[in-house]
Amino acid sequence: MNLFIEIDSSSNLPLYKQVANAIKDSIDSGRLQEGKAVPSTRQLSEHLGLSRITVVQSYEQLISQGYLKVITGTGTFVSRSQTTPLPNCPAQANTSHFSKRPLSQYGTRLMAGGNQPNQAETIFGLPPAQLLPIRQWQKLLAKYCSTTETLPLVAHEPLGCRPLREALAQYLRRSRNLNCSAETIAVFANSQQAVSLITRLLIDSGDTVAVENPGFIGAHKAIRSIGAEALAVNVDENGLIVSELRANPTACRAVYVTPTHQDPLGATMSRQRRQELLSWAAEHNSYIIEDDYDCEYRYGQPNLQAIQSLDQHQSVVYISSFWKLLYPIMPIGFIAAPPHLIPAISQAKQLAELSFSLPEQLALAELINEGHLEKHINKTQKQLAKWRQELIMALTLAFGNDVAIARYSAGMHIAAQFRLALSDDIIRSAADEAGLSVISTKSYYLAESKRGEFLISFACQKNQNLTELVRQFASRIKAQ
């Protein structure tokens, strides 16, 4: 441990007292807490460039005053908890004057933005940890952490290291039929950074962006933070209702959609709607930001090709991530963009995120190239399908006609609307007490939300016996 101790050579105070007073100040202010070890006298004397006898005198004074204690064979420790805060301690200072310093317009909009996700929402729907490909990941990461020979790969590659971009391009062409190459892909540490960057590049303050209602909270916040307006367009069983978008007189710079697995309700945008949306974008010279959220897991129905693969006018920016597949070991995000946008994306990314861990990028590239990623998807999908069916059956048996379950067969959660004479808060509390992972959809709506509508995860419950969790949930509901 290193301690910050400032020695004033011009002071008349002896050096050992200066050291002792500095340590006392650290203890009194809480910077050094009770039970924490302090450096040995040898370590501290070397660190400060003082004689060891000076530090020994300091410690002896602090021990006699009860600030430090020696445990034989272990070391020297703080023996007094925080007492009196230092004068002018920042935590105690009057901040009324400082709070008058204004944020930028961006910062102000960011803090004033609605639809703030709470802690439960930010961790909802995590992938099942017990199914993660930990062994393969550890092996690959260890391989690339054991050498520095690959480090030059990061030079002049703000879009991400080329081996990973090539692996992603092959994977996306194969699995999503995308029109892309390594040159048109940009890699980010997570998908939200990709969303933030592309919205800043395509949208100006005062512009209007059409979004799904309900829709992805992170997109709503990113759009509003740059001073743009979010135009709520309703969704149905076929995804965003393009006829509503056409009927609205507002000129939209872009539309943000989650067509494969609508966030949060789970609908898949039909092929006809995809073509309608592409026609709208071409007619209005607008961009489509296609967030291919949670596209990997589908149960009993074929996957439609991405909107980007149907695009003939280079109007679609494709965003996706491996968050739902590999979090927390690798929540990488990526963009497949029209070629004309790549220079701007490259420039912006050099400012926002020049690069991130190279060993992780190379390990992920090999995880994809060797087929481990798709093996993981196939294995996990089989288990998720069982859990999904178990959850639906348990809810149906427990609530009957008092619950309507969305029929969409994708993702790692279901949308359910409870027809109960109870408030959403009571329903949520009953689920929490039972250990059932649920969140309300209220914060996903820009327009009026639906009462009793919840998302229920079947992928990551504390207790994976979903039938028992639902039974306990229903029991608490009936006791209300």
pLDDT (tens digit, 9 = 90+) per residue, 322-373?
A: 988 898 888 899 999 999 999 999 999 998 887 788 889 999 999 999 999 9
Of 462 and 411, the structure prediction assigns the larger pLDDT to 411
pLDDT at 152 over 60: no
Residue 39: its pLDDT value, please? 92
Reported as a pLDDT band with limits 50, 70 and 90, residue 438 is: very high
The domains located in the chain, with CATH, are 1-101 (1.10.10.10), 113-372 (3.40.640.10), 375-478 (3.90.1150.10)
Q: What is the mean pLDDT of residues 303-310?
A: 92
3-state helix/strand/coil string of the chain:
CCCCCCCCCCCCCCHHHHHHHHHHHHHHHCCCCCCCECCCHHHHHHHHCCCHHHHHHHHHHHHHCCCEEEECCCEEEECCCCCCCCCCCHHHCCCCCHHHCCCCHHHHHHHHCCCCCCHHHHHCCCCCHHHCCHHHHHHHHHHHHCCCCCHHHHCCCCCCCHHHHHHHHHHHHHHHCCCCCHHHEEEECCHHHHHHHHHHHHCCCCCEEEEEECCCHHHHHHHHHCCCEEEEEEEECCEECHHHHHHCCCCCCEEEECCCCCCCCCCCCCHHHHHHHHHHHHHHCCEEEEECCCCCCECCCCCCCCHHHHCCCCCEEEEEECHHHHCCCCCCEEEECCHHHHHHHHHHHHHHCCCCCHHHHHHHHHHHHCCHHHHHHHHHHHHHHHHHHHHHHHHHHHHHHHEEECCCCECCEEEEEECCCCCHHHHHHHHHHHCCCEEECHHHCCCCCCCCEEEEECCCCCCCCHHHHHHHHHHHHHCC
**142-156, 418-432, 446-460, range with the lowest pLDDT:** 142-156
Share of the chain above pLDDT 70, in %: 90
pLDDT at 88 over 90: no
Residue 116: its pLDDT value, please? 54
Q: What is the mean pLDDT of residues 262-280?
A: 95
pLDDT at 87 over 50: no
Share of the chain above pLDDT 90, in %: 67
Residue 97: its pLDDT value, please? 56
Q: What is the mean pLDDT of residues 374-383?
A: 92
Q: What is the mean pLDDT of residues 8-23?
A: 92
Residue 419: its pLDDT value, please? 95
pLDDT at 84 over 50: no
Reported as a pLDDT band with limits 50, 70 and 90, residue 296 is: confident
Cα distances (angstroms) measured from residue 194 to each of 114, 190, 206, 214, 375:
21, 7, 21, 21, 26
Residue 190: its pLDDT value, please? 86
Residue 191: its pLDDT value, please? 85
pLDDT at 411 over 60: yes
Average pLDDT score, the chain? 88
Residue 86: its pLDDT value, please? 43
pLDDT at 100 over 90: no
**52-61, 115-124, 155-164, 419-428, range with the lowest pLDDT:** 115-124
Of 71 and 96, the structure prediction assigns the larger pLDDT to 71
**191-195, 302-306, 451-455, range with the lowest pLDDT:** 302-306
Residue 365: its pLDDT value, please? 96
Residue 144: its pLDDT value, please? 87
Strands 453-457 and 333-336, bridge-based pairing: unpaired
Which pair of tokens denotes residue 358? 């190279």
Of 69 and 463, the structure prediction assigns the larger pLDDT to 69
Amino acid at 166: E
Q: What is the mean pLDDT of residues 282-294?
A: 94
Residue 114: its pLDDT value, please? 53
Q: What is the mean pLDDT of residues 445-463?
A: 87
Of 350 and 303, the structure prediction assigns the larger pLDDT to 350
